[in-house]
Amino acid sequence: MQHGDEHAPGGRRRPPRAIVLVMAEYGVGDSPLWYRGSSEDVGLVDPNADGLGLSTALRHDLEAWNDVFDALSGTSFEWPSAAVRDAHRVDAFTLASRVQLEVGDDVHVWCGAGSGIDTFPVAHPAVVAPADRVGTEVESWNGRRRAEVLSARAAGLREGTALAIVGWRALTERAGGPFGDAGTRALGLRTAARIQADVGVRAQVVSFAGASGPYTLADVD
């Protein structure tokens, strides 16, 4: 599928045509993708009917990933092991990165380790790495309140992850922050996967396509 330039004539940024969240849910088949940021497009995304152009391989991998969560519905949503749970959360960002690359510049992809992120999680801490923070800084959120800004080291992130954050931010700034383009947003999601692997059960990582929090299509002007 061909996608248009994200920039309108004259250098003005064109709003995305859709915001899509990768979120695990039971009973949704091969599309754990959900519309966000619009009062017109709501609910489950149909990758075949909604013009996203996802490859067969990616649709199958999304289905297999969601099947892991779907199987929990018969066990009161108890994970078989901590390792399975942690891998599922990291894989959410890897899959979201692939979705972002395939849908192109004019769709923004969000991910919260497979959970819903309309608002920040209230039951446990969250970590966000916005594109427009400096250096290796990340934000620690507690409920709906930003608790503090931490260096990568203070947040418990590995040196390689810290370097990945810096590299991603530099590329995003060059492409036009905070959202950059499909390539930089996909890189941001892969970086979020590294952050999630480092923080483990201590926090849920959330990624809003480079922004520091949820936004609507109308907010991107």
- Per residue in 5-26, pLDDT tens? 454 444 446 789 999 999 999 8
| pLDDT, average across residues 124-130 | 92
Average predicted confidence (pLDDT) for the chain = 88
| Partners of 149 in the β-ladder | 139
Q: What are phi and psi of 208, to 5 degrees?
A: -110, 50
The pTM for the full model equals 0.91
Average pLDDT (140-153) is 88
pLDDT score of 11: 43
Q: Of 2-11, 28-37, 101-110, where does mean pLDDT reach its minimum?
A: 2-11
- Residue of 86, 142, 85, 107 lying closest to 21 (CA atoms): 107
d(CA 176, CA 137): 19
Distance CA 148, CA 209 (A): 21
Which whole number is the average pLDDT over 100-129?
Answer: 88
Q: What is the pLDDT of residues 46-94, one digit of tens each?
A: 877 667 889 999 999 999 999 999 999 888 888 889 899 999 999 999 9
